[in-house]
Amino acid sequence: MTAPTGSTGRFPARSAGRFPALDGVRALAAFGVLATHVGFNSGRSLDDGPLAPFLARLDFGVTLFFLLSGFVIFRPFVTAALGNTVAPATGRFLVRRLVRILPAYWLAVVVTLAVLTQHPPTPRSWLTYPLLLQTYTHGNVDPSLTQLWTLPVELSFYLLLPFAAAWIRRDPTADRSAVVRRTLLLIAGMCGIAVAANIAAHLVPAVGSRSLIWLPANLDWFALGMLLALISACAGRIPADRLPRLFGTGRTVAGATGLCWALAGLVFWFTTLPVAGSRLLVVPSGWEWSIKHYLYGGCAVLLLAPLTLAEPGRAAELLRARPVRYLGEISYGVYLWHLPLLLAFQHWLGFARSTGTSGRFWRSRRAAPPLLPRCPGDSWSGR
């Protein structure tokens, strides 16, 4: 790819704002979540196989989704602020987000509650799921829909973002360096809120661990994506000597794709260790949840940095391939439908589900008690 005019060094400003490899990352994220649900419902994540710990941690796909949202959705706002151009209109932005999410979501919820679920729906289910209130009203009890806890979080972020973006450009006369400083302050504030929410969830009984699947506890993941968007948007617009040293270091590391992805693999391996929590379906301690949460965030940054801050090399070509990008384009549908269909077919075929301690459903066709599938936050949903 040829560097556009205005680029500096080997890290061009992508004026078109297109990052085709990120569609491939969406595919990896969606099918990673699918794989971890298959692993836990079959018991494969809980056996002694060498791949079991990795299969158990593929809920990491949710982290990728949140960072991707932070990057892709925030980048047009920060690019407009740096270029002193008109930012996306708030009304149009929100309408486009809602149209992208809600019709497909409502269809999946209605079909699941009416046909696919083995958990008899209640009037409360018909009210809270369509309104995306299930995580706030303790109504996320249907095992076929527990993966949908992420959508209230996403929607909350969409509602927050236009106001945050308006704050970073509240002074039209400010220079670009002031915009960068204000954006960094915003990102730091979001991370601070996430840390406070984490502490409150584990130490304040009135808050409780259910709040870990609300937006405040996950703001840092979005903030990391926004940081990548800021660094990316600054390329070619602000001289390197007027930017924080972090930006130059980030671009340098991002240019070494192999190194970044090797470090990401190492960080992900740490998440498979007991220090990041048990692989069983039990509520992790505060330290375990925190360690896994922050390791997931670091791993996602290392994976995405070469694809967002540098020109993709050969290692990223597979993610940009048309078949992989197609899987990314349908990733939202995969995310919505994989769990209800998985549990429905498991029930219809008579395969027993894992008890959450060990075993494989291949060994028995005897029905097993309902089990909540594994995904960040699922261990607390419905309990």
Q: What is the rounded average pLDDT of the residues 205-215?
A: 89
Is the pLDDT at 379 greater than 80? The verdict is no
What integer pLDDT is reported at residue 317 of this predicted model?
81
For residues 179 and 168, the answer to whether their CB atoms sit within 8 Å is yes
Task: State phi, psi for 8 to the nearest 5 degrees.
Answer: -125, 130
Least confident of 102-106, 166-170, 262-266, 268-272: 166-170
Q: Which residues contact 106 (CB under 8 A, 6 or more apart)?
A: 130
What integer pLDDT is reported at residue 250 of this predicted model?
84
Is the pLDDT at 284 greater than 80? The verdict is no
For residues 360 and 40, the answer to whether their CB atoms sit within 8 Å is no
Token representation of residue 27: 């595919």
Is the pLDDT at 370 greater than 70? The verdict is no
What integer pLDDT is reported at residue 42 of this predicted model?
86
Q: Could you tell me the residue ranges of all domains in the chain?
A: 21-363
Confidence of residue 17 (pLDDT cuts 50, 70, 90): low
- Over pLDDT 70: what percentage of the chain? 85
pTM of the model: 0.87
Token representation of residue 223: 């903030």
Q: What angle in degrees, to the nearest 10, is found between the helix axes of 21-42 and 286-309?
A: 150
Three-state DSSP class for residue 13: coil
H or E stretch covering 284 = none
List the beta bridge partners of residue 11. Answer: 8
Is the pLDDT at 93 greater than 90? The verdict is yes
Compute the mean pLDDT over every residue in the chain, rounded to the nearest whole number.
84
List the beta bridge partners of residue 8. Answer: 11
What integer pLDDT is reported at residue 223 of this predicted model?
97
Is the pLDDT at 77 greater than 90? The verdict is yes
What integer pLDDT is reported at residue 352 of this predicted model?
65
What integer pLDDT is reported at residue 10 of this predicted model?
40
What integer pLDDT is reported at residue 371 of this predicted model?
38
Q: What is the rounded average pLDDT of the residues 67-71?
A: 97
Long-range interactions of 168-175: CB distance < 8 A, separation 24+: 168/77, 168/78, 168/81, 169/80, 169/81, 169/87, 172/84
